[in-house]
Structures are given as structure tokens and as C-alpha cells.
Amino acid sequence: MRVGLTYDLRDDYLAEGFSEDDVAEFDTVETIEGIEAALCRLGLTVERIGNVKALARKLVAGERWDFVFNIAEGLKGRSREAQVPALLEAYDIPYTFSDPLVLSLTLDKAMAKRVVRDHGIPTTPFAVIEKPADIAKVQLPYPLFAKPLAEGTGKGVDGRSRINDELSLNAVCRDLLNKYNQPVLVETYLSGREFTIGIVGTGPDARVIAVMEVVLLANAEEGVYSYINKEQCETLVHYGLATDAEAKLAGKTALAAYRALDCRDAGRVDIRSDGRNVPHFMEVNPLAGIHPTHSDLPILSTLAGLSYDRLIGEIITSCTARNGLVLPKPDGKVSAA
């Protein structure tokens, strides 16, 4: 079975002159090599495709694959994560993970929170700042938390993101508006524990792999799971599985949000509790990072006893099953997914 691999490689964009912040969400060579090796060990033949423009060139040239393993984030626009899936759908080629609608919806954090809220799932009150004049209209109690509306990997999140007064809110929102050229999400700050939950499967078959608690160490940026804390997680963050009652409720909340948003194959949901220990939905990552040792989803999977190869296998099984594809066996035969 021939599998294409779509991705955005950090080194490619850095070579074109983009900044480290521009490419923060993109993948390293180690990630691509790790996925490729795992797919090969599953008996699949892998072809590296690259980003959406490389995919377009190959499709126009007549190249096709049985399905595509897609982790491409895209470069520009609120719907950038939807570009590769939309193109693949135009050519009737199956692919892993969520569809264009879900990827567009969930990258816009406010839109995702509205859908989750309508399903009765706890999510903290919020406001969207589209222009400086909107800052004065915020009627939420302090402390607040501000971040770009449509970014990931902690981009735009640092020690200033936790806001205690109107002066700071004005300064931080203006800086984010100018730097990222997109709206800012302002929400009530959640003071409780922070969890990230790994999920595999689709619809009623989706299940929680594990609930992992994120604990910032003394030398980390205080109070926020920021870009720096994520990038330097090996020295700034402690990750541990959580199985107590609050953590179990966080897992149920995450799974409900994942299903409400119609995510597919695998993803990661970020949850934080309020001062009364009630877990609240923060955001979902339907294209979660998948570096074998550095990304949260593989880290929590490994802690839970699910190896990297098995994690990739679960993703492939979900994708092929919903597309009616047949996977090869190690002996060269095929079996239904």
C-alpha cells in the first residue's frame, strides 16, 4: 500500500527567510523520519510529499496514493490547516485526521469554544478582540488570559499572557494584534490544574489514551504553558499521568469535546480546571504534534504504555476503517482494517 506523507518542514521555511516564530508550528526532520519509519514498520510504502504546494504539483502531474498521512499545518490564513485535506478531497484521496471543516473550526479558538459551549461542555467565558477599540468592551473579571485566536504550539503565549489589570490588557492585546495580524482571544484565567488528553479513534469508537498533567517547574515561565515552556519542556516541565477523580472528569470533558467537534483518528485536547476543581475545555489539537519524544501526544502515549508504533498504528487503523481500505500484513497479505 502506497502512502503519501504531507507536512511543513521548519528547515524548508527557514531557508526561505521565515523567522523561528513564523515556523514554530512546523515539524522537524526527526518528526518526519519518525513517522516514516513507523509507517514502514507497519508494512506500508511511504513517499514524502511535503507541503500543500508540493502536493498540488504532484497531483497535477498525475501522482496518486492509497491514502495520505497528513500533518501539514499550512502557512497563511485561518483555514490553513484545511488546505491539504481540501485538495485531497478534490482528488478523492483518503487522508488521516480531521476534515477541512473541523480543521478550520478548531483553529479558530473562539468558534471551537462556541460549539463546545453549545454542547453543554464547560469552557471559560471569553471575548474576541478584532481591533484596538474592542479592548475597552471586555467585561470579564480579572485575571484574564490573552492569546492569538488562530495559532498553536504556544505561539504568542508568554509570561505576559496572564493579565491582572486594564492597562496590561490594552498593552498585550495591541502587541498581539500587531505581531500576528489576527484577532486576540481573551478569556477568564483558569487557576486550577492543567491537563492534556490524548484521544484516538473516530466518533463512538474514539477513546482516551491517557490524561497527562502539565506541571511547570520552578525555572519555567510562571503560570502559563507558554511557547518557551513547550519548546524547552525537557527542562522546564514535568509530565505525569493523572488518574484521580478530577483527572478522570477532565478526560470525560475532553472526549465529549472531541466528539462534539467531530474530530477524527487522533488528537489532543487541552483542559484546565477552575478554582473549584471543575475541568474546562481550552482548545483541541486535531493535528497534534507527533514528534516521537518531544510532542505531548506521543509523550502521554508512551507514559500510558502505548508505543510510538502502536500510536501510529491506531491512527492508521481508524483512517483505513472509515475509508473502507485494507491494510497489508507483515507477510505481504492484506487484512480488513
Neighbours of 243 (CB within 10 A): 12
**Are 133 and 307 in contact, with CB atoms under 8 Å apart?**
no
pLDDT value, residue 118: 98
The total number of structural domains in the chain stands at 3
pLDDT value, residue 226: 84
Tell me, what CATH number does 155's domain have? 3.30.1490.20
| Tens of pLDDT, residues 216-263 | 998 888 878 888 888 888 899 999 999 999 999 999 999 999 999 999
Mean pLDDT, the chain, whole residue set? 94
Q: Based on the domain organization, do 167 and 206 belong to the same domain?
A: no
Q: Based on the domain organization, do 90 and 176 belong to the same domain?
A: no
HEC readout, 206-235: CEEEEEEEEEECCCCCCCCCCHHHHHCHHH
**Residue in the structure block whose three cell numbers are 466518533:** 203
Q: Based on the domain organization, do 204 and 294 belong to the same domain?
A: yes
| Tens of pLDDT, residues 142-170 | 999 999 999 987 889 998 999 999 999 99
Residue 21 in this model has a pLDDT that exceeds 90: no
Q: Based on the domain organization, do 134 and 242 belong to the same domain?
A: no
> Which whole-number Å values give the CA distances from 136 to 27, 53, 128, 149, 333, in the listed order?
38, 41, 12, 18, 64
Among 56, 77, 95, which residue terminates a domain? 95
Q: Based on the domain organization, do 54 and 147 belong to the same domain?
A: no
| Tens of pLDDT, residues 99-118 | 999 999 999 999 999 999 99
Q: Based on the domain organization, do 238 and 293 belong to the same domain?
A: yes
d(CA 74, CA 83): 7
Residue 278 covered by a domain: yes
d(CA 61, CA 57): 6
Among 95, 116, 142, which residue terminates a domain? 95
Plot region of 100 (φ>0 → left; ψ -120 to 50 → alpha; else → beta): alpha
Residue 116 covered by a domain: no
Range of the domain at 150: 125-188
pLDDT value, residue 152: 82
pLDDT value, residue 336: 39
| Tens of pLDDT, residues 173-191 | 999 999 999 999 999 999 9
pLDDT value, residue 334: 43
Q: Based on the domain organization, do 281 and 182 belong to the same domain?
A: no
User: What is the reported pTM?
Assistant: 0.92
pLDDT value, residue 331: 54
3-class SS at 272? Answer: strand
d(CA 154, CA 158): 8
Residue 221 covered by a domain: yes
